[in-house]
Structure formats: C-alpha cells, structure tokens
Amino acid sequence: MNICVVALGKIGLPLAVQFADKGHKVIGADVNEKVVELVNAGTEPFPGEHDLDVKLKKAVDAGLLTATTDTAAAVAASEAVVVVVPLFVDAEGTPDFGWMDAATRAIAQGLKPGTLVSYETTLPVGTTRTRWAPMLEEGSGLTAGEDFHLVFSPERVLTGRVFADLRRYPKLVGGIDEASGARGVAFYEQVLDFDERTDLPRPNGVWDLGTAEASELAKLAETTYRDVNIGLANQFARFADKNDIDVKKVIEACNSQPYSHIHQPGIAVGGHCIPIYPRMYLWNDPEATVVRSAREANAAMPEYAVDLLAAAYGDLKGAAVLVLGAAYRGGVKETAFSGVFPTVEALKARGAVPYVSDPMYTDEELAAHGLTPHQGETVTAAILQADHAEYRELAASDLPEVKVLVDGRRTTDPARWEGVRRVVIGG
C-alpha cells in the first residue's frame, strides 16, 4: 500500500517506520520543516525511542519512507491516511482543535475516492463522526462512508517502547459505518504484528468495536481508569500518613488477590495522557463526579509533597530546596504536565528557593522551561519528583547539607540516607 502518516511526532514517526518495516511505501507529512529534513536524512528528530534510529535509517535507505510538508499531496498519493496530530485541552477540559482542524482541511484537499482515513489522536466521544466527517466531506466533495472510509483507532503506546507496545496490545478500531470498520481492520492487519497472549478474552490482534464512538470511549476509559485508580491510591496514602501506616504494605497485601488492582501513590501524575484525557472525558460527561474528584486529588499531590517537607523541615522561607527530576516520569525526556512545575510553584509560595536537576536535561534546557538549574549551590532540603533510575544510587553524601528528603516516588534507597530525615508519601 501507499500510506500517509500525518504528523511525525513521538507516536506518528514510529508508526510510519512500522508501516514501512512491513514493506509499505509511506509518506510522512509534518508542518515542521526541520523534522521533515531530518526524517528524509534518516535521522531521528527526537531521542529516546527504542530502535527508532535503526529502523528509520533502514526505511529511508530502502526508499520506503519519505517526508514532506505538503499534506494534501501526500494524501493524494496514498490509499490510507493515519492522523496523529496533537490535540490540546485547557485547564477547564475544553479541547483546542486548531491543529487538527488545519490538518483535516489539508487532508480533505488531497482526499480521493476509496481512501481510508484513520484518526489515532485521542478525541472526545463523537468527534470522528460529527466533526471530522463533515469537514472531510466539505473539503473534498466526497461522502464519508460512501466515497471514502473513516475510522477512529486510538494509539495505545508509551513513548520509549512504541514498537513493543504495538505488538503487545490489541489494536482497537471503530468505523462510522460497518464498511469503514471492516476496511480499518483490514488495514491494520496488514501493517501490524501481534504477540500471542493467553490472558485476553479473544486472540490478540485488531478488534472492531463496532462504532467510532465505542473506540473513542475505549481510549478515554482506559486512561481515565488509571487516573481514578491513582487518585484512590493517593487518598489512601494521605490517610496512611495521618495514621502512621505504611500504605505500600497495605497495597501489596490488597493486590495479592485477583480482585484488587490498586496503583501506586505519588507526587504527581504527568504526561500527555493521564492528566489530560480525564478532562476530555469530563467535557463529554460533566456529571462524572468520581472522575472529577480523582483529577482534583491527583492535581493536589505536588503541594501535598511540599506540605510533608514543611512538616519535617520547619519554616521553608529562604530554604534552598532541590527538586530532583524535571521529567514527568523516569527515563523519559518529557516535561508535559510534569509535577516539577506545581512543585516549584508550591515551594515558591512558601518562600523557599527551588532549584531543579535532572540527569536527562542540560542546565540550558531546564532554564528554557523556566526552571532554575542546580549548579552546585548548597541545598538543605530535597524533593524527588521523577523516578529516574539514577536516583536509586543517590545518597546523603551526594547532598551533604540536606536535612530532609521527601521521596515522592519511593525511588531512593533508605540505607543510603542515614542521618537524613527521609519522608515518603503514604508512610
């Protein structure tokens, strides 16, 4: 097949490479000229995705993957179009469709009869049918479901391990009609491979959920579940702190039987997905009080971690505090909705002087994010925000003036912090 992938970001580019690796000819479309240049040179535009550098060079060298800024032309040359353009949501949960609208209009300009269009960007329920279908029809003069096929098929992968996750998890598909769904299933069966899994109710592979709406809800539901579960774990942790209970032991005990799946509490829930998609769900379903409460509980955790520090340290006014980790999670160079930002703000609100360090970021990169990099200044307190593997080896001798460490991820080794008051969330 000839396939167009629209947006060559941290999900779109690995998808394009995956399709090319299966022998299909892929054109990647992106508005960023620098990204297009790098891809055409066989160079990954961002680090950290396992195997992407090797697979990308192989695909480009084989002539199976090229990139362009001309989305309409790329679509016109393709039989299938996969859209992975970012969708942003503001603090109130209102989606900003600006980038996706622009991409969809460009797709419509090049759309030909018989083409499959698959949206993979997480969307509010109903968007594929009520927003994209009319926009594609208006711009192309074609009719969705008759002249071209339209499906929603959510990405279900984590950056850093995209290729493994593509094999591990079933690919969900939902069309605006039965024929679109069938075409979507046939497409993904040709571009993906799947690991055998005996734990699933049916064989691993492409699963047709029947409608675009069901597929849209599936993505929102699985990510919202995680936010709600973490919110519950954080509530348990805060109660445990008040009652001198080790919540980790409690959670391990609960999860020893098959009906309990309590997640781990922590200082923050970050990234492009878990903090965002519950808000998107609430945009569809504003009466979902459980979802709203969990989101509020998780958003409050950075300030709670600073409260724990103040309780152990005393007045933070003028105290130099090191925040360990700018990334939203360990091993990933990404600050999207990272807990570092509200943690720093909560420290400033108490009069502290916060510094930030992260093994994945240079001082210049931290400063570009509005953070003050730690450049050897004496600090007397620390908060661990990201669970980088490097922090497992961190010791009191590395920060000799620190009196209190709040480990927001239970990453540090207690034996390495003798003489320092080490506080964890949940006892």
Q: Does residue 217 share a domain with residue 204?
A: no
Last residue of a domain, one of 181, 210, 239: 210
Distance CA 118, CA 131 (A): 14
Tokens of 178: 């039965």
Say if residues 154 and 188 touch (Cβ distance below 8 Å): no
Beta carbons within 10 angstroms of residue 89's beta carbon:
19
337-371: b or e for each residue (b if 16 or more CB lie within 10 Å)? bbbbbbbbebbeebebebbbbbbbbeeeebeebeb
Q: Does residue 240 share a domain with residue 202?
A: no
Say if residues 175 and 182 touch (Cβ distance below 8 Å): yes
Single-letter residue type at 425: I
Confidence band, pLDDT 50/70/90 cuts, at residue 129? very high
Q: Does residue 260 share a domain with residue 202?
A: no
Tokens of 22: 């299966």
Which residue has better confidence, 89 or 318?
318
Residue 48 has pLDDT above 90, yes or no: no
CATH code of residue 324: 3.40.50.720
Encode the chain in three state secondary structure. Answer: CEEEEECCCCCHHHHHHHHHHCCCEEEEECCCHHHHHHHHCCCCCCCCCCCHHHHHHHHHHCCCEEEECCHHHHHHCCCEEEECCCCEECCCCCEECHHHHHHHHHHHHHCCCCCEEEECCCCCCCHHHHHHHHHHHHHHCCCECCCEEEEECCCCCCCCCHHHHHHHCCEEEEECCHHHHHHHHHHHHHHCCCCCCCCCCCCCCEEECCCHHHHHHHHHHHHHHHHHHHHHHHHHHHHHHHCCCCHHHHHHHHCCCCCCCCCCCCCCCCCCCCCCHHHHHHHHCCCCHHHHHHHHHHHCHHHHHHHHHHHHHCCCCCCEEEEECCCCCCCCCCCCCCCHHHHHHHHHHCCCEEEEECCCCCHHHHHHCCCCECCCCCCCEEEECCCCHHHHCCCHHHCCCCCEEEECCCCCCHHHHCCCEEEECCC
Single-letter residue type at 140: S
Residue 47 has pLDDT above 90, yes or no: no
Q: Does residue 204 share a domain with residue 351?
A: no
* Range 35-53 average pLDDT: 95
Confidence band, pLDDT 50/70/90 cuts, at residue 88? confident
Residue 37: which residues within 8 A CB-CB, separation 6 or more? none
Full-model pTM: 0.91
Q: Does residue 302 share a domain with residue 178?
A: no
Tokens of 29: 């479309």
Q: Does residue 203 share a domain with residue 262?
A: no
pLDDT of residue 418: 96
pLDDT of residue 354: 98
Give the domain extent around 365: 211-427
Confidence band, pLDDT 50/70/90 cuts, at residue 160? confident
* Range 145-159 average pLDDT: 96
| Count of domains for the chain | 2
Q: Does residue 160 share a domain with residue 35?
A: yes
The pLDDT tens digits for 368-388 are 999 999 999 999 999 999 999
Q: Does residue 181 share a domain with residue 226?
A: no
Last residue of a domain, one of 210, 236, 256: 210
pLDDT of residue 403: 98
Q: Does residue 244 share a domain with residue 193?
A: no
Q: Does residue 178 share a domain with residue 256?
A: no
Mean pLDDT across the chain, nearest whole number?
A: 97
Q: Does residue 324 share a domain with residue 178?
A: no
pLDDT of residue 408: 98
The two beta strands, 88-89 and 95-96, are: antiparallel
Last residue of a domain, one of 210, 234, 264: 210
* Range 391-408 average pLDDT: 98
Long-range CB pairs of 30-34, under 8 A, 24+ apart, other chains included: 30/6, 30/67, 30/69, 31/69, 31/71, 32/8, 32/69, 33/69
Q: Does residue 104 share a domain with residue 11?
A: yes
